[in-house]
């Protein structure tokens, strides 16, 4: 088994233990498990910025300069705007994998605007950053 695939399989198993996490088998042609999570600390500014529609491709970015959580993973809108962060428990697992060069695609799955906005995400492991 490829070492990276083994690491991701282990991460999926570890994350699936969390109450706000679910891993499902990937569709044909993808390289790993689907991960359901949500963005927290959303920056929607009362609805003025607008949350992405379900199905919108988003980007994950390692954020190392948050003093209270150096393992933060930010969720970026298609225009590059920071929407929020993955929950800390998920960041603790995904951040080291991202630091090791693994790549995850993110898609908006559930969007609930309002005073307490919610952005559900689906993440899919796509391989190492140096792969095409």
User: Each residue of 27-63: pLDDT tens digit?
Assistant: 444 445 678 888 777 766 666 667 899 999 999 999 9
Among 9-13, 24-28, 88-92, the range with the most confident prediction by mean pLDDT is: 88-92
pLDDT of residue 32: 56
Q: In what order do the strands lie in the sheet with 22-24?
A: 22-24, 34-39, 118-128, 102-112, 57-63, 72-76, 82-85
pLDDT of residue 130: 60
Short-list 22, 10, 60, CA closest to 39: 60
Q: Which residues contact 28 (CB under 8 A, 6 or more apart)?
A: none
Domains and CATH numbers, the chain: 3-128 (3.30.70.2330)
Short-list 114, 36, 37, 43, CA closest to 83: 43
User: Each residue of 84-130: pLDDT tens digit?
Assistant: 899 999 999 999 999 999 999 999 998 887 777 888 999 998 888 66
Short-list 24, 27, 48, CA closest to 35: 24
pLDDT of residue 78: 93
pLDDT of residue 61: 95
Q: Which residues contact 13 (CB under 8 A, 6 or more apart)?
A: 23
Residue of 71 and 26 predicted with greater confidence: 71
> Which whole number is the average pLDDT over 72-77?
93
């Amino acid at each position: 088994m490829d070492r990276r695939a083994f690491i991701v399989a282990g991460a999926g198993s570890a994350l699936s233990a969390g109450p706000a996490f679910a891993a499902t088998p990937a569709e044909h042609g993808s390289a790993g498990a689907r991960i359901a999570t949500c963005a927290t600390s959303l920056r929607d500014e009362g609805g003025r910025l607008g949350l992405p529609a379900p199905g919108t491709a988003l980007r994950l970015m390692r954020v190392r300069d948050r003093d209270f959580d150096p393992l933060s993973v930010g969720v970026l809108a298609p225009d590059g705007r920071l929407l929020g962060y993955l929950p800390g428990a998920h960041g603790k697992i995904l951040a080291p994998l991202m630091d090791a060069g693994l790549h995850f695609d993110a898609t908006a799955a559930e969007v609930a605007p309002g005073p307490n906005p919610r952005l559900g995400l689906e993440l899919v492991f796509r391989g190492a950053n140096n792969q095409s």
